[in-house]
Amino acid sequence: MRILMVCLGNICRSPLAEGILQKKVKKAGLNWVVDSAGTNHYHTGDPPHPLSQKVALENGVDITHQRARRFTTEDLNQFDKIYALAKDVLNDIQRITGNKYDHSKVDLLMNEQYPGKNLDVPDPYYGGEPDFHEVYNLLDEVCDQLILKYQTSIAS
C-alpha cells in the first residue's frame, strides 16, 4: 500500500498526516509507503512548521527530518491512494493533473471517517498552537480508520 497525503504547503497538515500514519503503520507491522506533498511551491525544501514539529514530538512522532515537496502528476503513478486534506487541495490536484486525474485514486481524507460529509482538515497556518493540536487530533483519528480499512483488505 502506497499512500500520499497532500495539503497546500506541505509544511503544516500533510507532514503531520505522514508522520502519524507512518507511526501507526510501523506499530501494526505493515509494510506501507507513506509520503506527503503540497500543491504549491512556496515552501519547497523547508522543514515542517515549528508548531507541527512541536505538537508531533509531544505525541511521540518525529517529523523533523521531513522536507516539503510539490505534488506532481507523476505521483498518480507512484501511489495507490492520494488523500487531499481539504477541498481546495482536491481542486488543485484536479487542476495539476488535468486529463490524467484518476477519480478512483484521489479522495478527501476526512471522508474516510465521515463519509460524504466532505470535511476539511482546517488550515492552521495563520493559527496558533491550539489549532495545530486540533489538526493533530483529527489526523490521529482518521489515520486509525486508514489502518483498519486497508490492513484487512491488503496484507502489506
Nearer to ligand 4NP, 112 or 123 (CB): 123
Per-residue x/- marks for ligand 4NP, 19-48, CB under 6 A? -------------------x---xx-----
- Minimum CB separation of residue 154 from ligand 4NP in Å reads 28
Distance in angstroms (rounded) separating the CA atoms of residues 67 and 149 = 28
- The crossing angle, in degrees rounded to 10, of helices 129-153 and 13-27 is 40
Q: Which stretch binds ligand 4NP (CB under 6 A): 11-19, 59-67, 75-83, 137-145?
A: 11-19
- Residues whose CB is less than 8 angstroms from the CB of residue 148 and which lie 6 or more positions away in sequence, other chains included: none
Q: Which of 126, 40, 141, 38 minimizes the C-alpha distance to 82?
A: 38
Which ranges of the chain does DSSP label H, i.e. alpha helix? 13-27, 50-58, 75-78, 87-97, 129-153
The verdict on 8 binding ligand 4NP (CB under 6 A) reads: yes
What are the catalytic residues? 7, 13, 123
Q: Which stretch binds ligand 4NP (CB under 6 A): 9-17, 26-34, 98-106, 136-144?
A: 9-17
Query: At 115, which amino acid appears?
Result: P
**Residue 110 and residue 143 in contact, taking contact as beta carbons nearer than 8 Å:** no
Nearer to ligand 4NP, 1 or 120 (CB): 120
Per-residue x/- marks for ligand 4NP, 106-125, CB under 6 A? -----------------x-x
Residues binding ligand 4NP (CB under 6 A): 7-13, 38, 42-43, 123, 125
